[in-house]
């Protein structure tokens, strides 16, 4: 089945990303990595509050007390949404100016996982990290080039992950008690002609929703059959992330980007960089919060 998402909030993001639905506040957090912005979109009044965090920001999650935890170019930090103040915590790649943090999410017990990507340097110099609730940081995967979508299965026993240049959705056995990754399998290879796999969300049937950069759509992948069984198109070439939201968690929000588009492309796709959404016949899993007050 194929449907078209509608324009939800017009904005010319260079690199809209990192969508995350706050079920308690009923708002969507997302970012513009290049413009150093964290956004809070409120569907009730169609407002989009912006925080300028002063540097590239790849991901945002919500903490137990409603503050925001960020994965910035310079590592982990937290943002007080009341004051806009950013407090830096730790940079695990301070010796690598050619990398920056990209996508991230909390696991089911509230640890913050986020990975880095390599810019204009040798591939494989990034990594995937876990910020635990005691604020210690552990490197979980190495030889990463562009860390992207990551989700956990409903039974908490599987971790799905995308390193974009591999064009694969990988599945790891997951130990929820120790946050350790076990045996790795590949549940899908994304054909080059449909776009590059970017951000990812999961529904309550464990279907994987993958935004396709260069593909202008989000696909639903069945990790058991490896089949693509649903598509949501957007009127922008670069779909970058997706998140289930709304009161029933049955609305798919999709971020987009205009980075890399020439003037002709931007005229052809004036909504590139905006936020899109559509109702889908699936429900998502609630986003997990960082299990510590900051």
Q: Is residue 226 part of a domain?
A: yes
Q: Is residue 6 part of a domain?
A: yes
Q: Is residue 293 part of a domain?
A: no
- The residue range of the domain holding 111 is 2-279
Which pLDDT score, from 0 to 100, does residue 11 have? 97
Contact 59, 105 (CB under 8 A): yes
Show Cβ contacts of residue 193 under 8 Å, excluding neighbours closer than 6 positions: none
Half-sphere exposure of 178 (CA within 13 A, CB side): 7
Which pLDDT score, from 0 to 100, does residue 153 have? 97
State the burial class of residue 241 (Cβ atoms within 10 Å of its Cβ: 0-12, 13-18, 19+): buried
Global pTM reads 0.97
Which pLDDT score, from 0 to 100, does residue 211 have? 98
Q: Is residue 288 part of a domain?
A: no
DSSP 33-66: TTTTEEEEEETTTTEEEEEE-SS-EEEEEEBTTS
3-state secondary structure at position 176: coil
Q: How many helices (H) and strands (E) does the chain have?
A: 1, 25
What amino acid positions are annotated as catalytic residues?
Answer: 198
Which pLDDT score, from 0 to 100, does residue 198 have? 98
Q: Is residue 285 part of a domain?
A: no
Which pLDDT score, from 0 to 100, does residue 294 have? 79
Q: Is residue 188 part of a domain?
A: yes
| Tokens, residue 61 | 């999650």
Q: Are strands 168-175 and 217-221 parallel, antiparallel or unpaired?
A: unpaired
Which pLDDT score, from 0 to 100, does residue 123 have? 87
Query: CATH code at 113?
Result: 2.120.10.30
What are the per-10-residue average pLDDT scores of the chain (294 residues)?
95 97 97 98 97 98 95 96 95 95 97 96 91 97 98 97 98 97 97 97 98 98 95 98 98 97 95 98 96 85
Alpha-carbon gap, residue 57 to 273, rounded angstroms = 16
Q: Is residue 273 part of a domain?
A: yes
Which pLDDT score, from 0 to 100, does residue 144 have? 98
Alpha-carbon gap, residue 248 to 209, rounded angstroms = 17
Q: Is residue 190 part of a domain?
A: yes
Alpha-carbon gap, residue 217 to 286, rounded angstroms = 22
Domain count, the chain: 1
Q: Identify which of 258, 263, 252, 261 has the alpha carbon closest to the alpha carbon of residue 285.
A: 252
3-state secondary structure at position 194: helix
């Amino acid at each position: 089945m194929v449907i078209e998402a509608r324009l939800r909030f017009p904005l010319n993001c260079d690199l809209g990303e990192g969508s995350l639905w706050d079920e308690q506040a009923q708002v969507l957090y997302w970012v513009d990595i290049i413009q150093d912005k964290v956004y809070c979109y409120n569907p009730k009044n169609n407002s989009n509050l912006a925080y300028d965090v002063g540097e590239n920001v790849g991901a945002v999650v919500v903490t137990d007390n409603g503050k925001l935890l960020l994965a910035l170019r310079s590592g982990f930090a937290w943002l007080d949404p009341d004051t806009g103040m950013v407090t830096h915590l730790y940079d695990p790649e301070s010796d690598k100016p050619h990398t920056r943090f990209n996508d991230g999410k909390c696991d089911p017990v509230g640890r913050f996982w986020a990975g880095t990507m390599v810019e204009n340097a040798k591939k494989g110099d990034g990594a995937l990290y876990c910020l635990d609730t005691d604020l210690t940081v552990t490197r979980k995967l190495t030889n990463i080039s562009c860390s992207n979508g990551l989700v956990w299965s409903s039974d908490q026993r599987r971790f799905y992950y995308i390193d974009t240049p591999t064009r694969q959705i990988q599945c790891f056995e997951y130990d929820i008690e120790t946050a350790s990754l076990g045996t790795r399998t590949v549940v899908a290879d994304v054909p080059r002609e449909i776009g590059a796999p970017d951000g990812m969300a999961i529904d309550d049937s464990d279907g994987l929703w993958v935004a396709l950069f260069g593909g202008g759509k989000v696909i639903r992948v069945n990790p058991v059959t490896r089949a693509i069984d649903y598509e949501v198109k957007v009127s922008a070439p670069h779909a970058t992330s997706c998140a289930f939201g709304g009161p029933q968690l049955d609305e798919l929000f999709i971020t987009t980007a205009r980075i890399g588009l020439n003037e002709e492309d931007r005229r052809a796709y004036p909504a590139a960089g905006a936020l899109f959404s559509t109702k889908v016949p699936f429900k998502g899993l609630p986003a997990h919060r960082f299990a510590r007050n900051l």
